[in-house]
Amino acid sequence: MRAFVVEKYGKDGARAAEVAEPAVGERDVLVRVSAASINPLDKMVRNGEFKQLLKYKHPFVLGHDVAGVVTRVGSAVHSFEAGDEVYARPRDLRIGGFAEYIAIDVDDVAPKPASLTLDEAAAVPLVALAAWQILVERGQVKPGHKVLVHAGAGGLGSTVVQLARHLGAEVATTTSPDTEELVRSLGADIVIDYTKEDFSQVLSGYDLVLDSVGGANLEKSLTVLKPGGLAVGVVGPPDAGFAKQLGAPAFLGFVMNTLSRKIRKRAKALGVRYQFFFMEANGSQLRKLGALYDSGQLRPVIDTTFPFDRTLEALEYVEQGRTKAGKVVISMARESD
């Protein structure tokens, strides 16, 4: 089958290849891929940023989001059958959405939301799961809470804005003038043009901040939190909780804590908290999220769609920061220009 694999770590390490169709274990669902989507995580994994924690064996197929049609199921699978339309964020070490077929553990799979096309559904799993796990599990967001979402027009940000609003939070976001109308339509109450205004000078008393920028932006984010508030970073620095989540040796947890020592120390001095976030595959949560898409509480935001044979172009498009809003989708149905 056709696939895009990582042959070696680094910017030039991914290529098109012919690989064997994946084997189907007793708990697996074999999916004929209809569409996938690009996430910053794809670049990070391709570049080997997590190679001490995620031990991929080269060559491996890249791609963390997938939507498609079930063609075969393992002997222990009874919840899906051939012909079902599904979507998933396959678990780490079993990714592979940039291919014609992928075998996914049944626990990571959910029925595709009926209201979404397969292309639209492919834009959803990773960012929707991340939004749920950040807001519901980490932040325990309730009606009346105040949530700040940086880069609210992005793939993750646009989803977090919508879900936070659905949970009853007051939502602030940073964005550019080009996407102000979009983030307001998604449910943002307060919109800050980061090109003209410093969010840390106008916001205060927030329960939760989602930072996808890092560096000085993360440090300033700590200052808008109320006492005990939580800043969640998705680009780092990582902490010991990340190493524990991936089952890494204790010494790597120590290394992670060293990397995040400065920001954690700063947070403690301000009476707030910092946590690094790395989402986990979860088909059960995708079922709940699917119902929110079908009820109109959530909607995917798609920047552009590339044909499958231009997957490397799509990766470069995202890496160069050319995405204006939402996700970049790779569609098997599209023919190359």
Whether 337 has a pLDDT exceeding 60, the answer reads no
Condensed to tens digits (0 to 9), the pLDDT of residues 71-121 reads 999 999 999 999 999 999 999 999 999 999 999 999 999 999 999 999 999
User: pTM value?
Assistant: 0.95
pLDDT in tens, 128-145: 999 999 999 999 999 999
CB atoms within 10 A of CB 217: 19
229 — pLDDT class (breaks 50, 70, 90) = very high
- Domains of the chain plus CATH, in order, are 2-123+300-331 (3.90.180.10), 126-276 (3.40.50.720)
Decide: helix, strand or coil at residue 319.
Answer: helix
The answer to whether the CB of 172 falls within 8 A of the CB of 154 is no
Write the CA distances from 181 to 129, 177, 216, integer angstroms: 25, 8, 26
- The confidence band for 23, taking pLDDT boundaries of 50, 70 and 90, is very high
Give the separation between CA 1 and CA 77, rounded to whole angstroms: 24
pLDDT digits (tens, 9 = 90+) for 46-63: 999 989 889 999 999 999
The answer to whether the CB of 30 falls within 8 A of the CB of 127 is no
Count of CB atoms situated within 10 Å of the CB of 320: 8
- pLDDT bracket for residue 336 (50, 70, 90): very low
What is the percent of the chain where pLDDT is above 90? 89
pLDDT of residue 334: 60
Q: What is the pLDDT of residues 264-314, one digit of tens each?
A: 999 999 999 999 999 999 999 999 999 999 999 999 999 999 999 999 999
Q: Give the CA distances from residue 1 to residues 17, 42, 78, 99, in Å, rounded to whole numbers and listed in that order.
A: 8, 20, 26, 7
- Provide the 3-class DSSP secondary structure of residue 183: helix
Cβ contact 256:49 at 8 Å = no
What's the confidence (pLDDT) of residue 1? 97
What is each CA distance from 115 to 71, 147, 330, in whole angstroms? 22, 28, 19
For the chain, what is the mean pLDDT?
95
